């Protein structure tokens, strides 16, 4: 079959749309963004920083777990040591590049997926030279994006300002 | 469209102790509807403690708040909000990555789980049409200048239906021009009978230019005040500081004599 789509791919699209709605249009979303962006404001409004952050981290951990289940259940479908091979870091670079917007995250994750598929795809059509180089494509992309986005000239629009070590 | 007029607020005998330190000692304050009242004092004079007691951030050891003649228990900021009290801080409490509209909605005490943006925007537009200055609801707050941000802080309080605005040194992060603009808007709104303004400051200039009444605090006590037009700058500073010990008081008197002596010498050599 040429086009095999996993249920988690559809779940990803639905999640991106749902997160977009939650962050922009619900009280919970606004509170999470406030806590991430201006702790003083959240405190003045009477929200518990620790509570919101704990819940948000738990929700993030849950979603990361769903992502991880994709690796062991579907791609490659077996479990072995170091299964994620750095894709967690890639996910962080992806969010920065997508400017913290769930819809952009979806498109950028397609880009990263394509970069990851480059090596195996070329191999499957019989092009085997520079095999390891093509397999490194997603890591090169990650590195490039991190270098680009950490440059002081590119203002990190949309980055939560509480998420910093220079404060 | 009619707006509720600000209430008559009576703060009586507020006292707040932190351990052995009495930060606020039996301070009373009367705010007529749509007054512009300045609270003047040095650092540590108890200005912030007083308003934090009013806003329910601190639980006072004695004293109470009367609103329109009725005693109210202020157990927390939400109680204060219900009475129509709103606070604007020295540092911004706006969320920089959000738009002006999102920031205005965020402060609602009864923010619904799902926000009806069409309804909210309609009420915001109706509200803004009655305000003396224009703002773009879709601008991201982080991109605005400090003066604009402080105006939006004030706007937010008004949008949330607060009629007694307490501003804790709102101009300390502003340029003098921006400060005049922001205070000018507040002065205009209090003259129109829309809000009561309580301005905490240590700048005489702001008191003289904008406030109509003043309360002077020092070391937690009320040491003076009244209508600004009846007072001279000397009245505002004349009362001697309250010293923790006699030795400190002697040192202060000595320094004052020294500086008077130096000043007299300067004027003779200059002539």
| B98-107 per-position pLDDT tens digit | 999 999 999 8
- Give the 3-state secondary structure of residue A9: helix
Residue A159 or A158, more confident: A159
B227, β-bridge pairs: B213
Task: With CB atoms and an 8 Å threshold, state whether A46 touches B94.
Answer: no
Task: With CB atoms and an 8 Å threshold, state whether B97 touches A40.
Answer: no
Residue B209 or B238, more confident: B209
B3 has pLDDT over 60: yes
End-to-end CA distance of chain B: 64
Task: With CB atoms and an 8 Å threshold, state whether A34 touches B106.
Answer: yes
CA B253 to chain A, closest CA, distance in angstroms equals 41
Residue A123's pLDDT is what? Answer: 85
Mean of pLDDT values over B29-36: 93
Mean of pLDDT values over B191-213: 90
A167 has pLDDT over 70: no
Most confident residue range from A40-44, B19-23, B88-92: B19-23
Q: A-side interface with B, Cβ within 8 Å?
A: 25-28, 30, 33-34, 37-38, 40-41, 44-46, 158-161
Residue B243's pLDDT is what? Answer: 58
CB atoms within 10 A of CB B212: 18
Q: Each residue of B167-194: pLDDT tens digit? A: 999 888 888 888 888 899 899 989 989 8
CA A60 to chain B, closest CA, distance in angstroms equals 20
| HEC-encoded secondary structure of chain A | CCCCCCHHHHHHHHHHHHHHHHHHHEHHHHHHHHHHHCHHHHHHCCCCHHHHHHHHHHHHHHHHHHHHHHHHHCCCCCCCCCCCCCHHHHHHHHHHHCCCCHHHHHHHHHHHHHHHHHHHHHHHCCCCCCHHHHHCHHHHHHHHHHHHHCCCCCCCCCCCCCCCCCC
Diameter of chain A measured on Cα atoms: 62
Residue B270's pLDDT is what? Answer: 41
B215, β-bridge pairs: B39, B225
Interface of B with A in 42-81 (CB under 8 A): 76-78
| HEC-encoded secondary structure of B117-134 | HHHHHHHHHHHHCCCCCC
Distance CA B106, CA B11 (A): 29
A159 has pLDDT over 50: yes
Residue A123 or B118, more confident: B118
What mean pLDDT value characterizes chain B?
86
Task: With CB atoms and an 8 Å threshold, state whether A161 touches B97.
Answer: yes
Residue A144's pLDDT is what? Answer: 86
Instruction: Please tell me the pTM assigned to this model.
Output: 0.76
Residue B84's pLDDT is what? Answer: 92
Chain B residues with beta carbon closer than 8 angstroms to that of A30: 98, 102, 105-106, 111, 115
B105 inside 8 A of chain A by CB: yes
Residue A154's pLDDT is what? Answer: 60
Q: Each residue of A11-59: pLDDT tens digit? A: 999 999 999 999 999 999 999 999 999 888 888 788 889 999 999 999 9
Most confident residue range from A3-7, A50-54, A88-92: A50-54
CA A156 to chain B, closest CA, distance in angstroms equals 11
Backbone phi and psi for residue B160, each to the nearest 5 degrees, phi listed first: -80, 5
Of A37, A41, A46, the CB nearest to B78: A46
Q: Percent of chain A beyond pLDDT 90?
A: 30
Q: Each residue of B130-144: pLDDT tens digit? A: 877 788 999 989 889
A103 has pLDDT over 90: yes
Nearest CA in chain B to A38: B95
Tokens of B155: 């706007």
Task: With CB atoms and an 8 Å threshold, state whether A25 touches B114.
Answer: yes
B245: pLDDT confidence band, cut at 50, 70 and 90? Answer: low
Mean of pLDDT values over A118-145: 85
Residue B269's pLDDT is what? Answer: 46
B1 has pLDDT over 50: no
Of A25, A40, A161, the CB nearest to B93: A40
B246 has pLDDT over 80: no
B240: pLDDT confidence band, cut at 50, 70 and 90? Answer: low
Task: With CB atoms and an 8 Å threshold, state whether A33 touches B78.
Answer: no
B271 has pLDDT over 70: no
Residue A49's pLDDT is what? Answer: 92
| CB distance B75 to B111 below 8 Å | no
Residue A22's pLDDT is what? Answer: 95
Task: With CB atoms and an 8 Å threshold, state whether A33 touches B76.
Answer: no
Task: With CB atoms and an 8 Å threshold, state whether A28 touches B112.
Answer: no
B20 inside 8 A of chain A by CB: no
Mean of pLDDT values over A96-113: 88
Mean of pLDDT values over B35-47: 90
Of B89, B96, B107, the CB nearest to A45: B107
Residue A96's pLDDT is what? Answer: 81
Of B89, B95, B117, the CB nearest to A34: B95
DSSP state of B6: P
Distance CA B196, CA B10 (A): 12
Distance CA B127, CA B134 (A): 11
């Amino acid at each position: 079959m040429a086009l095999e789509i996993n249920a988690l791919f559809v779940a990803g699209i639905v999640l991106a749309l749902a997160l977009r709605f939650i962050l922009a249009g619900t009280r919970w979303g606004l509170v999470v963004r406030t806590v991430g962006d201006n702790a003083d404001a959240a405190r003045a409004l009477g929200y518990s920083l620790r509570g919101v952050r704990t819940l948000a981290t738990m929700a993030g951990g849950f979603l990361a777990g769903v992502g991880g289940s994709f690796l062991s259940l579907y791609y490659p479908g077996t479990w072995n040591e170091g299964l994620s091979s750095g894709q967690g870091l890639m996910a962080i670079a992806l969010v920065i590049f997508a400017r913290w917007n769930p819809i952009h995250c979806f498109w950028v994750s397609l880009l990263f997926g394509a970069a990851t598929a480059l090596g195996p795809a070329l191999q499957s059509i019989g092009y085997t030279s520079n095999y390891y180089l093509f397999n490194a494509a997603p890591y090169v992309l990650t590195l490039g994006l991190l270098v680009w986005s950490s440059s002081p000239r590119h203002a990190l629009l949309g980055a939560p300002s509480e998420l910093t070590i220079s404060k | 469209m009619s707006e509720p007029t600000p209430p008559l607020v009576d703060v009586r005998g507020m006292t707040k102790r932190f351990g052995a330190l009495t930060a606020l000692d039996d301070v009373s304050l009367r705010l007529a509807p749509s007054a512009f009242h300045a609270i003047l004092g040095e650092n540590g004079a108890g200005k912030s403690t007083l308003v934090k007691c009013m806003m329910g951030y601190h639980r006072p050891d004695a004293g109470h708040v009367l609103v329109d003649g009725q005693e109210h228990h202020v157990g927390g900021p939400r109680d204060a909000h219900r009475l129509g009290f709103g606070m604007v801080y020295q540092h911004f409490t706006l969320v920089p990555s959000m738009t002006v509209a999102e920031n205005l909605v965020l402060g609602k005490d009864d923010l619904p789980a799902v926000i009806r943006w069409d309804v909210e925007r309609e009420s915001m537009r109706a509200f803004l049409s009655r305000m003396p200055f224009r703002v773009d609801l879709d601008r991201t707050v982080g991109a605005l200048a400090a003066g604009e941000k402080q105006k939006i802080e004030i706007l937010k309080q008004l949008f949330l239906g607060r009629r007694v605005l307490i501003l804790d040194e709102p101009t300390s992060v502003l340029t003098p021009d921006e400060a005049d603009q922001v205070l000018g808007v507040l002065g205009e709104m209090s003259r129109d009978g829309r809000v009561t303004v309580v301005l905490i400051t240590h700048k005489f200039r702001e008191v003289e230019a904008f406030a109509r009444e003043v309360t002077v605090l020092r070391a937690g006590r009320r040491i003076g005040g009244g209508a600004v037009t009846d007072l001279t700058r000397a009245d505002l500073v004349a009362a001697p500081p309250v010293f923790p010990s006699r030795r400190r008081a002697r040192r202060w008197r000595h320094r004052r004599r020294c500086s008077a002596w130096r000043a007299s010498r300067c004027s003779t050599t200059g002539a």
